[in-house]
Chain A
Amino acid sequence: MTGGNRRLDMKAKIIITPKKAVLDPQGKTVQDALQHMGYQGVGAVHVGKYLEIELSGSDKDAARKQIDEACHKFLSNPVIEDYKLEIE
């Protein structure tokens, strides 16, 4: 659906990463591979998720409040993940 006159003025950018205490076998495997390939100085790797959400309107504070709640309730799992939210 194109949404007619609906204007997509803002964008929420969300980065979700595994909490430090949580086992991250994907990150470890990528780290091992990078080191195996000979890249120097490679430390811990954390594999997470990136989400972009298009938002209509221009009230950034209201958008942040709403998406922050969605991040906490649904988009991330606070038991195992941290998230960073940016609205632009």
Chain B
Amino acid sequence: MNFAVLQFPASNCDQDAVHAVRLLGHSARFVWHKENSLGDTDAVLVPGGFSYGDYLRCGAIARFSPVMQAVKQFADNGGLVLGICNGFQVLCEAGLLPGALIRNRSLQFRCENVFLKTATIDSPFTNQIPAGQLLRVPIAHGEGCYFADTDTIAKLKVNQQILWQYANAQGELTDGANPNGAVENIAGICNERRNVAGLMPHPERACEPLLGSTDGRLIFESIFHALKSGPAAKVA
């Protein structure tokens, strides 16, 4: 599988994303934000960081970069797109995912490991996650509080678009386990078509025992599985 990992000025998890994909036996390459095309690509990763210095709003400027037009077309054709951290913010700003990410309730930058409960395995991003298994993955963000109006949240629930929620070690969705104040403890969602997803935590930083957890692999393996079994969209 070929993964395109976008690079914006001040992306800083792009190397980690490429490393994780290669570690898991697939190919990944960087695609600069000024590119108009993704080339031969099976899936797109929009990495974490502080694209364009987070000026104006996180992800607000990145969404207008040339490469994002190509990503939008790729997504419109059914291609798999995963946004991690700042990548999630970019996808929300671009309108590829509903809602927005705002300042953490605590006003603090939170950098720690969290537990994620997978709300549904019915998605290309969660299909390999064993039922009931919590994922131990790190977060590192100051503006990761997911917000959407009540109608949108209701729609997310009905369509099972909530993929991951912050939980405690027992898998309960408590307020104490919510690191940023996100509505419904939401850590990650997908679009209605289920081919575009975003999450604030960093699965790419949890793929090796050396890093303390390999739970992030399950998300990548879900994508590999989806690409192998489903009709992969190819967009030049």
Interface residue? A42 (CB, 8 A): no
**Closest CB-CB distance, A59 to chain B, in whole Å?**
26
Chain B minimum-CB-distance residue to A47: B103
Task: Check if B104 sits within 8 Å of A25, measured CB to CB.
Answer: yes
Task: Check if A79 sits within 8 Å of B103, measured CB to CB.
Answer: no
Residues on B with C-beta less than 8 A from A74 are 56, 60, 64
Task: Check if A80 sits within 8 Å of B107, measured CB to CB.
Answer: no
> Which of B12-20, B109-117, B143-151, B203-211 makes up part of the contact surface?
B143-151
Residues on A with C-beta less than 8 A from B98 are 79
> 7 closest A-B pairs (Cβ-Cβ)?
A79-B100, A80-B100, A25-B107, A25-B105, A77-B100, A25-B103, A22-B147
Q: Which residues of A contact B (CB under 8 A)?
A: 18, 21-23, 25-26, 29, 74-75, 77, 79-80
Task: Check if A77 sits within 8 Å of B181, measured CB to CB.
Answer: no
**Closest CB-CB distance, A17 to chain B, in whole Å?**
13
Task: Check if A29 sits within 8 Å of B107, measured CB to CB.
Answer: yes
**Closest CB-CB distance, A12 to chain B, in whole Å?**
15
In angstroms, Cα B105 to Cα A25, docked, is 6
Interface residue? B174 (CB, 8 A): no
